[in-house]
Structure 1
Amino acid sequence: MIDKNEGTKGYTESNSEQFFREMLSSVTEAVLAFGQSSTPPGELIMTASGFMIRQELNTRLRRQAARLGVSLESLCHLGWALVLSRSSHCEQVVFGTGLRAHRGILPIRVDISETGTEEAARQVFARLEALQAHQQTPLSLSLALRCSGVGGEAPLFNALLNYRHSQSNETTVEIEDAQWLDEQARTHYPVTLSVDDDGETLGVTVQAVAPLEPARVGDYMAQALLSLVTALETTPQKAVCELPILPAAEHKRVLYDWNATGVDYPQGECLHTLFEQQVQRTPHAMAVTADDGVLSYAALNDRANRLAHYLRAQGVGPDERVAVCAERSSAMVVALLGILKAGGAYVPLDPGYPRERLNYILGGCGAGAAAG
């Protein structure tokens, strides 16, 4: 839990270091979003993409922030934490944030857990308020790493959020949903999200290093904010970790389009017969690749035939079941095809089962032989 009075503490180097140690000590792995495993030395060349949050969503976000008594800034921090959590597979998300009166970057931890969405929003607001008291801290990122539970030289985080407040008459963006692409910028972090809040509108700019697509990251942020405000309006107790960040179009592409792998095949043919036909068409093509090696269709067929002859000699034929107890490997594929070629049926067994349970299953299913 976060002490909502943390932000009232006076600034000293000792209590600031204690504050960051309390916030970061439970973080035991670096939060590296979007597969960017490290931050190379020197500056990175980035591309940028920007857009305006739809006015309807902007209004809903401001309404919920006012209802909860939290800042819109805290809702944007929570939305960004959702994106980083999904892309780093971390529940305790750490990223850099720039506070208004602080000229550098300070780390912040946001937990994407079973906590209800409304409570999570309040926790982020309290943490930002607490961070304000330590914004004069001469905290180097190496010290932040030492305050955490992350070992080694890996960076503690690789993403930033820069929340900027401005007056409405200072903004230069007038067209809703307007985008600007391919601007180049330099930074030490692979991913930076900037939010421009003029009190009436919200502009978002994403800077990302190749091969990341900044526009795609921006889409995730927009969806995260939509999911967040919808939960606050309708199901405030919903676990924040359950909120989706995939836009509808990408959700359809990932779950349906990429899984549309159905093809027509001869219904009256057995699997091993179809395999043998493929052997005739592409004997030298790669059929199996695994940790124990690569097999062409011809090599796989040869090994499966040899096993089939052995199994037949052991009495395997129609209506005989053969147990297969093996890790995923090319040998396992040989075993399955060999059993089918012999006329039997395979019974897969988990290699993690205790030997006593394996023996019990083998006796119960009457398996004619075991391959593994």
Structure 2
Amino acid sequence: MSDNRPKRPLFDSRMKTERDYWLKRLGGEPVPTGVHPDFERAGAGARRPGRLEVAVPDELRERLMRLTNGAPLLVYAAVLAGLQVCLSRHARSTTVIAGSPAPRAAEPNALAILSEVDERTPFRQLLLDVRATLDEAYANASYPFGRVVRDLGLTAAVDRCPLFDVALAHEALHAPLPELNNDITITLRPSGDALVCDVDYHAGLFHGSTVEAFVRHLLTLTSAALADVDRPVGELDMTNVAERQQLLVDWNDTRRDYPHDRAVHELFEEQTAATPDAPAVVCGSEVITYEQLNRRANRLAHRLRALGAGPEVCVGICLERSPELIVGMLAVLKAGGVYVPLDTEYPRERLAFMLEDTRARLLLTREEFVGLLPAGDARVVRVEEAGAGDELSDQNPPAGASADNLVYVMYTSGSTGEPKGVAVTHRGVVRLVKSANYVRLGPGEVVLQFATTAFDASTFEVWGALLNGACLAVAPPPPLGLEELGAFVRGAGVTTLWLTAGLFHQVAEGGLGDFRGVRQLLAGGDVLSAPHVRRALEAVPSLALINGYGPTECTTFACCHVMRAAGEVGSAVPIGRPITNTDVYVLDVGMRPAPVGVVGELYIGGPGLARGYVNRPELTAERFVPHQFSKEPGARLYRTGDAVRYLHDGTIEFIGRGDRQVKVRGFRVELGEVEAALLQCPGVRDTVVTARADQSGDKTLTAYLVADEGATLMPQEVRAHMEQRLPAYMLPTDYLFLPELPLNRNGKVDRARLPAPERNRRDPSERFVAPRTETERRVAEVWCEVLGLDAVGVNDNFFRLGGHSLLATKVMTRLREIFEVELSLGHIFETPTVAELAALVERSTATAGAVAGGGIERVPRGEEDLAQVLAELSRLSEVEVQSLLAQEGLGADGTSVNE
């Protein structure tokens, strides 16, 4: 029997109307908005169902009844409006999308409900907008969700719904929601006179406590909204009184007595009086007692004061790691001055800016560095001569600077094209190292001094030791490789040390054989790898491993997380809790406390805050804002720009940067400063710089450039221009030349449309010459393998192709394995092209024997082999050893946070 009913077209006019609605409503770049997961989405695996039930408080249920008379659609709209506000807070976005099932009268389907949440909008208006959006969505509920996704050009991932993370349903109103792999689904269910929330969630992504807290925050906010529907949504609170007490007061109970009215040098002099014969500084066979160090610093201080040093007067210090450096720093402070660390590896133009910006009156250095430094107004004081002479007193100079005066100025990358000088006071340093609750400092401790003084880890090292009666073990001057460092740590009996995250990862990979006497290991400057932390704690059970976080503007550390057992380390390493006499707050865009689990910006307060930026009052006012939670007149908070969230135990988890600041090889880099330097290059009309992870996971910079009309940009000229203006860590690895920068519909650079760098970094103006011999071919293969390139010519320069110190180490290691010849790291600096290096190999093999056959194979390396490889790093400079190499350890992922 035939079916004479009319057939519905596969795509009739109604379906077209509905499709047009969804494309218009969701067009652009829709992004799922939800709760930040507790576990990495990539490692969550197959969905593991979790379920919990949360009762709607009676107060909210009664307010819903008064507003809606219990009508399911109205109840649902009110809670959905509250959900959109919550999602806006979690995603830190004004555009949010929640999921909704289709109404029961329709076929089962999923609807994406998009709302624009302006914090100034009264909740009443948002509720009306949400209700209107629901009416429109329900009128277009027949168009399949899968087609919406396809028509929008979105990728339907198997582990995540492409349009929304959180869905809300009402049992009496909606058909079942199709299985879409969204993270959380909340179903409102009447139960007698009560109303409950049945919550289904992905247990592979979330702790149940995180999801429960999210639902309770939704209910708290919705109740506050219904109590006063005319309040702007930005004023609605997700936390109750008890939570605010916990966030603002209990978790900031860090106040302890410390000598807040004393200057750094005064506390050193007090320590000298207490332990005059105790070792203060050791370096190799040289041992300097507290009394000897004090007298040497006094003589130099009297000379500096006679030359004009005094309170708020800046004195540049350009010295290598040595006892003389410690004497110089202490002498500047005793003279009442402010020390400004200068790194000789920086371009002369950058050093000149620092000296001019600080109006440095004196420049303390050695004869060997004078020729490297820019000519300027600062009077050069040679350390070899300055402290000599019987006429100089070795007694303490009269009191000069006070706790409120500046102690040093350190420069970090600046977004406007110039580095910014962070001006730190004596009180900030004293708060860091006295009455500390994150580390044990005192007589009997031996603290390693390894960090360059241009980074504020040296602040902890030097003054943490010398203001507490400990011994400062000054590592030999560069070059110094990891093998030599380990030998020094073991030989000097170091008990406490600071390592950058990258260097810590290297040490953990190597087995920590030389570090078994260390009791306290602080690491930071980047995200710590949890597997490496566990490995270290398993290798040295007596070790306390401390994750230290803090920007330069807050004097080295603001938060620390102490770990003593591998079993207590989760999938990520938190940055911990505020250290002594430090306030930290996680605030949303409205400067309200973000509840536990909600991502916000980290703000830091307390006496550790810097005075501000040198000669940058506008930037100081922008980053140092009034402390709204303090009763102390003039108290301030520093806006870090770091996205973080509180965990349920009160520790803080670092999520990422909220601006265009990145970490490259452990250095803080403002992409805007790199762009500003590029725009100064003749012929460059427009540019944008991005940070990308290379094949090993390390961050590299890519510069996109647009030439002026009629101009021709040559890669080698742009590189040369940049090398004269920026430190090596700020130089782009890749330069891509475009006719125009791609823009989005808002007229901003569309970074998603910027092309990825090609696997060929050769300068197109240079003629490509393919390898001609077997040795050249195999050397080129190693370069391609290590640099991630498709082809390398015999005249290509390793460092022009994006190579740097650690990659050079890998190349030389592979060549030793293949050719079975002795090659040092220095050879690649001396012979940086394939042709030159291959010729060196052939000369070496002619002496050592025949070249080994076979292709390039990865050879396993043991601990001793790795140590031998890393020992080659002894040829590197201060910056390369302490920064470039250290920050590129295996496992480092390049995210920042401490200077």
User: TM-score higher than 0.5 here?
Assistant: yes
Write the distance in 1 (CA, Å) between the matches of 2:73 and 2:60: 17
The equivalences for 1:196-235 within 5 A come to 196-197=189-190, 200-208=193-201, 209-210=203-204, 212-234=206-228
Is 1:31 the counterpart of 2:33 in the alignment? yes
Aligned 8 A contact 1:117 1:228 in 2: no
Write the distance in 1 (CA, Å) between the matches of 2:234 and 2:93: 11
Q: SS state of the match for residue 171, structure 2? A: strand
More helix by share: 1
The equivalences for 1:239-250 within 5 A come to 239-250=232-243
Write the distance in 1 (CA, Å) between the matches of 2:235 and 2:322: 44
Deviation of 1:11 after TM superposition, in Å, equals 7.7
Write the distance in 2 (CA, Å) between the matches of 1:67 and 1:350: 62
Q: SS state of the match for residue 237, structure 1? A: coil
Aligned 8 A contact 1:39 1:189 in 2: no
Write the distance in 2 (CA, Å) between the matches of 1:218 and 1:253: 18
1:326 is matched with which residue: 385, 390, 412?
412
Q: SS state of the match for residue 263, structure 1? A: coil
Q: SS state of the match for residue 83, structure 1? A: helix
> Hey, what does 1:94 align to over in structure 2?
97
* Letter of the 1:162 counterpart: A
The equivalences for 1:1-372 within 5 A come to 12-35=14-37, 38=41, 43-66=46-69, 71-101=74-104, 102-113=107-118, 114-140=120-146, 143-144=148-149, 146-147=151-152, 155-165=162-172, 188-197=181-190, 200-208=193-201, 209-210=203-204, 212-234=206-228, 236-267=229-260, 269-271=262-264, 307=329, 311=339, 313=364, 318=400, 324-327=410-413, 331-333=454-456, 348-349=613-614
Aligned 8 A contact 2:56 2:219 in 1: no
> Hey, what does 1:291 align to over in structure 2?
none
* Letter of the 1:218 counterpart: E
Deviation of 1:15 after TM superposition, in Å, equals 1.4
Aligned 8 A contact 1:158 1:191 in 2: yes
Larger mean Cα displacement after TM superposition, 118-127 or 101-110: 101-110
Larger mean Cα displacement after TM superposition, 155-164 or 196-205: 196-205
Write the distance in 1 (CA, Å) between the matches of 2:331 and 2:156: 54
Write the distance in 2 (CA, Å) between the matches of 1:336 and 1:37: 35
Q: SS state of the match for residue 57, structure 1? A: helix
Write the distance in 1 (CA, Å) between the matches of 2:135 and 2:268: 64
Deviation of 1:105 after TM superposition, in Å, equals 1.8
- Residues 192-211 of structure 1 show CA distances to partners (whole Å, capped at 9, x for unaligned) of 21211368532102223245
* Letter of the 1:103 counterpart: P
Larger mean Cα displacement after TM superposition, 53-62 or 190-199: 190-199
Segments of 5+ residues of structure 1 without an aligned counterpart are 1-9, 167-185, 284-298, 356-371
Aligned 8 A contact 1:223 1:245 in 2: yes
Deviation of 1:152 after TM superposition, in Å, equals 10
Aligned 8 A contact 2:94 2:116 in 1: yes
Q: SS state of the match for residue 131, structure 2? A: helix
> Hey, what does 1:294 align to over in structure 2?
none
Aligned 8 A contact 2:98 2:168 in 1: yes
Larger mean Cα displacement after TM superposition, 246-255 or 40-49: 40-49
Normalising by structure 1, we get a TM-score of 0.63
Residue 76 to residue 346, structure 1, CA distance change in 2 (3 Å): closer
Larger mean Cα displacement after TM superposition, 250-259 or 217-226: 217-226
Residue 33 to residue 347, structure 1, CA distance change in 2 (3 Å): closer
Write the distance in 2 (CA, Å) between the matches of 1:93 and 1:138: 21
Residue 152 to residue 340, structure 1, CA distance change in 2 (3 Å): farther
* Letter of the 1:252 counterpart: Q
Aligned residues between the structures: 304
Deviation of 1:217 after TM superposition, in Å, equals 3.1
Write the distance in 1 (CA, Å) between the matches of 2:24 and 2:183: 27
Deviation of 1:123 after TM superposition, in Å, equals 1.0
Aligned 8 A contact 2:60 2:222 in 1: no
Residue 51 to residue 64, structure 1, CA distance change in 2 (3 Å): same
- Residues 306-338 of structure 1 show CA distances to partners (whole Å, capped at 9, x for unaligned) of 555685747899459665443489735268789
Deviation of 1:147 after TM superposition, in Å, equals 3.3
Residue 157 to residue 81, structure 1, CA distance change in 2 (3 Å): same
Aligned 8 A contact 2:76 2:169 in 1: no
* Letter of the 1:100 counterpart: P
* Letter of the 1:348 counterpart: Y
Q: SS state of the match for residue 168, structure 2? A: strand
Aligned 8 A contact 2:33 2:164 in 1: yes
Residue 100 to residue 334, structure 1, CA distance change in 2 (3 Å): closer
Aligned 8 A contact 1:92 1:111 in 2: yes
Deviation of 1:302 after TM superposition, in Å, equals 8.9
Asked which structure has the greater RCO (Cα within 8 Å, sep 6+), the reply is 1
Name the larger-Rg structure: 2
* Letter of the 2:182 counterpart: Y
Write the distance in 1 (CA, Å) between the matches of 2:244 and 2:62: 25
* Letter of the 2:27 counterpart: S
Aligned 8 A contact 2:172 2:189 in 1: yes
Write the distance in 1 (CA, Å) between the matches of 2:254 and 2:244: 17
Aligned 8 A contact 1:336 1:346 in 2: no
Residue 89 to residue 303, structure 1, CA distance change in 2 (3 Å): farther
Write the distance in 1 (CA, Å) between the matches of 2:322 and 2:43: 43
Aligned 8 A contact 1:305 1:338 in 2: no
Write the distance in 2 (CA, Å) between the matches of 1:69 and 1:240: 23
- Residues 188-232 of structure 1 show CA distances to partners (whole Å, capped at 9, x for unaligned) of 222221211368532102223245233443344344334334334
Segments of 5+ residues of structure 2 without an aligned counterpart are 1-11, 174-178, 272-278, 283-320, 333-338, 340-361, 365-377, 382-396, 414-421, 423-451, 465-609, 620-672, 674-898
> Hey, what does 2:473 align to over in structure 1?
none
Aligned 8 A contact 2:64 2:226 in 1: no
Write the distance in 2 (CA, Å) between the matches of 1:130 and 1:191: 24
* Letter of the 1:331 counterpart: A
Write the distance in 2 (CA, Å) between the matches of 1:330 and 1:145: 55
Residue 68 to residue 259, structure 1, CA distance change in 2 (3 Å): farther
- Residues 264-285 of structure 1 show CA distances to partners (whole Å, capped at 9, x for unaligned) of 22345434677998xx99x9xx
Write the distance in 1 (CA, Å) between the matches of 2:330 and 2:169: 64
Write the distance in 2 (CA, Å) between the matches of 1:29 and 1:232: 28
Q: Percent identity?
A: 18
- Residues 66-116 of structure 1 show CA distances to partners (whole Å, capped at 9, x for unaligned) of 599971110111122222222222221112211233413221112221221
Q: SS state of the match for residue 48, structure 2? A: strand
Write the distance in 1 (CA, Å) between the matches of 2:99 and 2:206: 19
Deviation of 1:38 after TM superposition, in Å, equals 5.0
Aligned 8 A contact 1:110 1:124 in 2: yes
Aligned 8 A contact 1:323 1:347 in 2: no
